[in-house]
Chain A
């Protein structure tokens, strides 16, 4: 005991405590971040053979239509995720915190359950439901209404929307929980005052609830946006070839994987990674700004 106290003084202890973390952090985080930027300026023919090509990878990237399609698809997906999560999360949260609704814990659990399912498994079930023949459940269902079977997974019309449906199914529960938390912390007295002033429920929603909920709305939208920009597994599971649905589902994350690990263009892949990082950093700064501003109010 005594010896220990000699080694770890109040002065040295914090360094000892944080060092295991920072050793790992330096090796597996700081170094790869720097190395990924370095790689993005190289053509990697073999692991040990890096040819410096300056901005070559970036030039090629910005000249390749597939990159723009990936950027477009990712943005479409992220915007869709953001809108759906905010609007539906808000509405469901509102309904679930309405004190006159019986049995809310059941609905709450059922909205939350998909959060627990890993993307691969969720994707497998979605594939089964979305199979393009008459034997797929969704086609069977719409067939009952006389609609011909659709190619949900492969057609340019539906493929990305199917990916979006999968992502949304898995994320709605979390967004709803945030909104529920927000609604529950709204001050009751304000509503009573509004009620006495004769405000209708719609007016209360518009002039009271939505402004009060703005921080939560901002938070959910930006968190969803950032997560959604990284989408990879959803695409990989629903379209293993990434090509069966043409360019309609390729996302930045998928394009990176494909470039690096299917076509062995590690430098090019690293450049995609750097672009993705920049997008995320900008979004994160916006998030911090938004949330920071709200804290000061």
Chain B
């Protein structure tokens, strides 16, 4: 009798553990609080969508530089690293190229999605041995944001601007230095626009042997263009704080002192969050071209979400990431909840992505991307080590824009200082 009861109890317990989802807490580090909220939301969706795991996502948002320092120290120490982590593209050289052993190889789970994902974007987070170490959060396509009424008032139809020289000419018409009104703004603390234009021109920062060639002709032209915008054409101001992500820049743009901005698609959320007075005025268009038939755009910035190899729950973490970042639904949510251009290309036909947006001139915000997606350059920047990225951000732009180096000299300096590493 007693043994029967015991067996019954054991059976009950066993069946319980077979059918109940495994409870798992996943720690997640990021440097963007929006990402944290997004993944927390996706965790709830994930729990509803499958029954194997019931995850609780514990997110922490830390400033970008400290988060990566922290991550590196924790990985080295083998203590305190999270299960899932957002690696900023500037640091992908440091983590995915130099220290890939600390992360789970995601190649296998990506295989099933090769057809639908933007493969170029996946390459960005692929290590030197061809393994995918991180999953992209967005495409980060460079687009042009126009303050449409300002151009209408000057008699310029923004849809007529097809090439950069036309864009510069338009700029000369609308720029009013006396009133502190500028065609555009350039960053001098981040090399994003520089890398965008280098790649859109067909240039790249390394040669096939892996040598640093950031002083090549296309890069020099791109840097010269940034210089010319400020000093020759005098149609650009340097973004206050050196970054278009700086609150003081938001303020300047919001007060209509900067009329167009070449920047990543994900900047749409910054417009909505920080520049309320521009609602209805901003129109998104593809970037101008350098030449007929040239590349339509290149990707800007990026965050590769990776699973830490030492995580005790890496299976759950990988499954969760697959759901959040590769699934159709996840990619739709990347747009609807985060406002990023999803890296999975088949979702662009989904009506939820093509809703007209009242903030952006009542047009679907993503149409500019869909239009040119096939001629978009997405090349990894990780062959540039984190040190090169930081040197570009720190010295190169500044020395050209506000110091006295020519673009060639400044880029030669990068290569001579860091080329050997």
Which A residues lie at the B interface, using CB under 8 A?
47, 64-66, 132-133, 154, 156, 240-244, 246-247, 261-264
Looking at the complex, which of B138-146, B256-264, B348-356, B391-399 is the stretch in contact with chain A? Answer: B391-399
Chain B residues whose C-beta falls within 8 Å of the C-beta of A243 in the assembled complex: 390, 393-394
Those 7 A-B pairs whose CB atoms lie nearest each other, nearest first:
A243-B394, A133-B248, A241-B65, A246-B394, A243-B390, A262-B69, A261-B69
Known: A263-B94, A263-B386. A246 touches B72 (CB 8 A): no
Of B94, B98, B242, B395, which contacts A154 at CB under 8 A? B242
A65 to B69, CA, bound (A): 23
Contact A264 B395 (CB under 8 A): no
Task: List 24 A-B residue pairs with CB atoms under 8 Å apart, sorted by A's residue number.
Answer: A132-B248, A133-B240, A133-B247, A133-B248, A154-B242, A240-B63, A240-B66, A242-B65, A243-B390, A244-B189, A244-B394, A246-B394, A246-B395, A247-B394, A247-B395, A261-B72, A261-B73, A262-B72, A262-B386, A263-B94, A263-B387, A264-B76, A264-B94, A264-B98
Partner of A132, one of B65, B241, B417: B241
CB B420 to nearest CB in A, in angstroms, measures 9
One of B240, B251, B398, B417 near A246 (C-beta < 8 A):
B398
| 8 Å CB interface, B307-366 against A | none
Instruction: Give the CA-CA distance A264 to B148 in the complex, in Å.
Output: 47
Residue pair A154, B241 in contact (C-beta under 8 Å): yes
The residue in chain B whose Cβ has the minimal distance to the Cβ of A65 is B417
Give chain A residues whose Cβ lies under 8 Å from the Cβ of B241: 132-133, 154
Q: Which residue of A lies closest to B397 (CB)?
A: A246
A244 to B66 CA separation, bound complex (whole angstroms)? 14
B interface residues, Cβ below 8 angstroms from A? 63, 65-66, 68-69, 72-73, 76, 94, 98-99, 189, 240-242, 247-248, 251, 386-387, 390, 393-395, 398, 417
Q: In the complex, A251 Cα to B241 Cα: how many Å?
A: 22
Q: CA separation between A132 and B238, bound complex, in Å?
A: 14
17 more A-B residue pairs beyond the given contacts A47-B76, A66-B417, A240-B63, with a C-beta to C-beta distance below 8 A: A132-B248, A133-B240, A133-B247, A133-B251, A154-B241, A154-B242, A156-B398, A240-B66, A241-B65, A243-B394, A246-B395, A261-B69, A261-B72, A262-B72, A263-B94, A263-B386, A264-B99
Q: How far is the CB of A154 from chain B (nearest CB, A)?
A: 7
Question: Chain B residues near A264 (CB, 8 Å)?
Answer: 72, 76, 94, 98-99
- Cα-based distance from A297 to B82 in the complex (angstroms): 62
Residues of B within 8 A of A263 (CB): 94, 386-387
* Nearest CB on A from B58, distance (A): 24
Contacts of A66 in B (CB 8 A): 417
A12 to B275, CA, bound (A): 76
Closest CB in chain A relative to B193 CB, distance in Å:
17
Which of chain B's residues have a CB closer than 8 A to the CB of A241?
A: 65, 390
Separation in Å of the A123 CB from the closest CB of chain B?
A: 14
Tell whether, in the assembled complex, residue A244 and residue B248 are in contact, meaning their CB atoms are under 8 Å apart: no
Per the bound structure, the CA–CA distance linking A109 and B417 in Å amounts to: 49
CA distance A264 to B390 in the complex (A): 15
> Considering only CB atoms, which chain A residue lies closest to B189 in the complex?
A244
A154 contact set on B, CB distance < 8 A: 189, 241-242
Contacts of A262 in B (CB 8 A): 65, 68-69, 72, 94, 386
Name the A residues within 8 Å of B395 (CB-CB).
246-247
Contact of A64 among B94, B189, B247, B417 (CB under 8 A): B417
C-alpha gap A255/B240 in the complex (Å): 27
Q: Which residue of A lies closest to B68 (CB)?
A: A262
CB neighbours of A133 from chain B (8 A):
240-241, 247-248, 251
Once the chains are docked, how many angstroms separate the CA of A169 from the CA of B395? 29
**Residue on A with the closest CB to B417?**
A65
On chain B, the residues within 8 Å of A64 by CB distance are: 417
A243 and B73 alpha carbons, distance in the complex (Å): 20
Give the chain A neighbours of B240 by CB distance below 8 A. 132-133
Question: How distant is the Cα of A240 from the Cα of B66 in the complex, in angstroms?
Answer: 8
A247 to B396: give the CA distance in the assembly, Å. Answer: 11
